[in-house]
Structure 1
Amino acid sequence: MTSAKSPIGGHVPVAGGMATKGLKYAADIGAETVQVFVTNPRGWAQAAGNPAEDAKLRESGVPAFLHAPYLVNFGSPTADTLEKSVASVRHALHRGAEIGALGVVVHTGSAVTQSFDEAMRQVHEHVLPMLEELPEDAPDLLLEPMAGQGNMLCATVDQLGPFFERLEHHPKVGVCLDTCHAFAAGHDLAAEGGVKETIDLLVSTVGEGRLKLVHANDSKDVCGSAKDRHENIGAGNIGEAPFGELLHHPAVAGVPFIIETPGRAPEPHAKDIETLKRLRDEG
């Protein structure tokens, strides 16, 4: 049984006001923590914040996380994409500080057509200096392993090792574990002992205390499919019970859970959060 309960919440809309709209939606679905986009997740635009809305979210006391745009790829062989990726994440970290976010989630990316070593050289040369710029109270940069499709730099949790090595185990680097991604990459969370094995491997790879966020998503596809298709909690191939095991693993004590599950809001999201809270509070 864990010593601290994980807050459970979801991704919330920010159109109409990051705090005004987002916190209302959070209340509607019973969220204890939130994740937001501060720009178009499928574009490069760097939108300025609304100081009043930023202050409301910051002062609400609700633990918040920010997700960087999906286009970000530090492993890209295209100079323009690499430059925009760095600028986009730098902007996200700045905006994260303005809203009081605990972390900024970024996908670990793909080497596309170049070698793994060349892509990881770029991670060292472009991401590490950005981390060195951060003040102590800035959000952590949370690396989210992918589902294993294409020439991905990191899918299984042990593949986080090279990232941490290239980033010199910087204290501002953490991990966001997406359960659907992990399952698709080959971590059989549904098997007996699968959750413990996966989390133990994560901790042995990156160290204690580096897991900062869990994206709690069931999977429409089977283990090892390399397909990133989320399903509602308990309705997919992972099933309900492994989420309870995850919530009670000692290394996950107090780590926030964010759902990114399908369905028209708010009903299915409220149900998923209710399920996770029940699993958290059992035992």
Structure 2
Amino acid sequence: MPLLGAHMSIAGGYYKAVNAAATAGCDCVQLFTKNNNQWAGKPLTDKDCEAFKGALAEHGITHPISHDSYLINLGSPADELWKKSIDALVIELQRAEQLGIPYVVAHPGAFTTSSEEAGLQRIAAGLDEVHRQTPKIAAQVLLETTAGQGSNLGWRFEHLAEIIAQAADPDRLGVCFDTCHVFAAGYAMQDKKDYLATMRELDKTVGCDRVKAFHVNDSLKPQGSRVDRHAAIGEGEMGLEPFRHLMNDRRFKKVPMYLETPKGDRDGEDLDVINLRTLRSLVA
């Protein structure tokens, strides 16, 4: 059975995200380690970290993962924002390390007023500086596939491959594959042959072994729209088939997968519970 979980809120304490994951029937959990729309965050206390790790052990939740701040842009040509983004990503890795989280998911960045090539170089240089400042930290950055809105990079597998190739320490980088983003970026996944072709391309450019996490989300917008809008599993433009292929892909049976689908209730039942049940029902 695949390792399935969801992104959960840290409101009221980091351990609360783990408790919520357990209540929903998750195997794994994703969280922010601070407010994702602010640069600064309250320092983590030993109590925070102990309660979080204790909750993971108590509930048997594995593969905790964090997502970095949406303000970070390592692709920015503006020096002030670029340096601020480097500092912020260093802090994200430090916080993950304190909490015992092995991976921090990060959107690669947007080139804004420069060019695609300049943006990719800027991201690789930014990651090199982050790595220089965190030599003893085990937590790694996972570059997320994006939908490619605006000047966002990472919507082609080649973008991720180029960033990794340019990085001085590529072994400290992995990839997070977001199903909605890849579909919105234009990759086909509905038919089995299309899914296999997309995964072949991923393997050829980035390497399937570099994929350390999945975000499992359906897409509100059509294939190739380059618009990032998540939908419940099987209720968007993707339908159930891409998820059926993924749930039964033996290459990824030990890679954790996290829902980032809309939250709420339907007929008194938690939507995360419904989405997890749908995904598990697709396993052959």
Amino acid at match of 2:6: G
Distance in 1 of aligned mates of 2:250 and 2:31: 27
Does 2:10 match 1:14?
Answer: yes
Distance in 2 of aligned mates of 1:195 and 1:109: 26
Q: What TM-score, normalized to structure 2?
A: 0.91
- Asked if the contact 1:96–1:138 (Cα under 8 Å) also holds between the matched residues in 2, the reply is no
- Asked if the contact 2:110–2:153 (Cα under 8 Å) also holds between the matched residues in 1, the reply is yes
RMSD, matched Cα: 1.8
Partner of 1:276: 279
Aligned-pair CA distance for 1:137: 6.0
Q: What TM-score, normalized to structure 1?
A: 0.91
- Asked if the contact 1:103–1:141 (Cα under 8 Å) also holds between the matched residues in 2, the reply is yes
Distance in 2 of aligned mates of 1:23 and 1:124: 33
Partner of 1:95: 95
Distance in 2 of aligned mates of 1:251 and 1:163: 24
Which of 21, 28, 35 lines up with 1:33 in the alignment?
28
3-state SS of paired residue (1:126): helix
Gaps of 5+ in 2: none
- Asked if the contact 1:233–1:239 (Cα under 8 Å) also holds between the matched residues in 2, the reply is yes
Does 2:46 match 1:43?
Answer: no
Distance in 2 of aligned mates of 1:275 and 1:173: 31
Distance in 1 of aligned mates of 2:79 and 2:169: 26
Amino acid at match of 1:75: G
Amino acid at match of 2:227: K
Does 2:195 match 1:195?
Answer: yes
Gaps of 5+ in 1: none
Distance in 1 of aligned mates of 2:124 and 2:18: 37
Aligned-pair CA distance for 1:274: 1.6
Partner of 2:242: 242
Distance in 2 of aligned mates of 1:84 and 1:156: 26
Relative to 1, partners in 2 of residues 1:136 and 1:197: Cα closer, same or farther, differing over 3 Å? farther
Distance in 1 of aligned mates of 2:171 and 2:43: 27
- Asked if the contact 1:196–1:249 (Cα under 8 Å) also holds between the matched residues in 2, the reply is no
Segments of 4+ in structure 1 off by > 3 A? 132-137
Aligned-pair CA distance for 1:168: 4.1
Does 2:32 match 1:23?
Answer: no
| Percent identity over paired residues | 31
